Amino acid sequence: METVEIGASNVSAFAEINEFCYIGDKCKIGDAKIGYGYLPHRTEFDTVIQDGVTIHDNALILKGAQICENSVIAENVKIGEGAYIAPNSLIKAHVLPFESFDGKTLGVHKRALIDFVGMEKGFEVVEKFIRDLRKAKTPEARKKLVQQVCAENSQHKNYPLQEAIGIISMFIE
């Protein structure tokens, strides 16, 4: 296994921690899964759990997520690939891949998304996709949106754009 660093923290014996994860000091991690997902293994997509974070049982923190200090992730919550959670946040609902939570509102984690997609035009497509997914209230509406966006972008040669859409699509199904 590649680099896993865990500071002076309380980690459940049943927690599953994948490679390229960094967990700070004074964290409390229950029976959670951390660092799994579809992002490539590059430094900018390492999973980082800063000091004082609490992650409750059955939470899933996917690859490339950054959970800032003193945040709490509730039971059964999924934090998507490349997501960013601001310091002192309480997360009770799923956070999509490449989303950010600033402590009050959800947005798009622009740095991670641009690092992944690699171009401004692709970034704008994925940013709009994330916003539209949040507005879709039913599973049927989300599925229809995924099909529409996948069809619209299937002929592009921007493979990272297609991958980002795919990562987000898998997260919601």
How large is the average pLDDT for residues 86-114?
91
Question: Which pLDDT does position 122 carry in this prediction?
Answer: 74
pLDDT in tens, 110-156: 888 888 877 666 788 888 899 999 899 898 998 899 888 888 877 76
- Residue 90, pLDDT > 70, answer yes
Nearest alpha-carbon partner for 27 in 47, 2, 7: 7
CA 47/CA 83 separation, integer angstroms: 10
C-alpha–C-alpha distance, residues 145 and 134, integer Å = 11
- Tens-place pLDDT, residues 29-48: 999 999 999 888 787 889 99
Dihedral sign, Cα of residue 53, residue 56, residue 62, residue 63: positive
| Whole-structure pTM value | 0.88
Q: How far is CA 59 from CA 42, 82, 100, 162, in A?
A: 23, 16, 17, 27
In this structure, the number of other CB atoms found within 10 A of the CB of residue 24 comes to 19
Backbone angles phi, psi at 100, to 5 degrees: -130, 150
pLDDT band at residue 84, thresholds of 50, 70 and 90? very high
Q: Give the residue with greater pLDDT, 148 vs 89.
A: 89
pLDDT at 173: 60
Provide the pLDDT for residue 1: 47
Tokens of 113: 């998304």
pLDDT value at 107 more than 70: yes
For the cut 90, the answer to whether the pLDDT of residue 24 exceeds it is yes
Q: Which fold has domain 4-112?
A: UDP N-Acetylglucosamine Acyltransferase; domain 1 (2.160.10)
3-state helix, strand, coil in the chain (%, to 5): 30, 25, 45
Residue 56 has pLDDT above 60, yes or no: yes
Q: Report the phi/psi class of residue 103: left, alpha or beta, with left for phi > 0 and alpha for psi in -120 to 50.
A: left
Task: Kindly indicate the confidence band of residue 3, based on its pLDDT and cuts at 50, 70 and 90.
Answer: confident
For the chain, domain boundaries: 4-112, 118-172
State the average pLDDT for the chain.
89
Share of the chain above pLDDT 70, in %: 97
Q: What's the confidence (pLDDT) of residue 120?
A: 65
64-83 pLDDT tens trace:
999 999 999 999 999 999 99
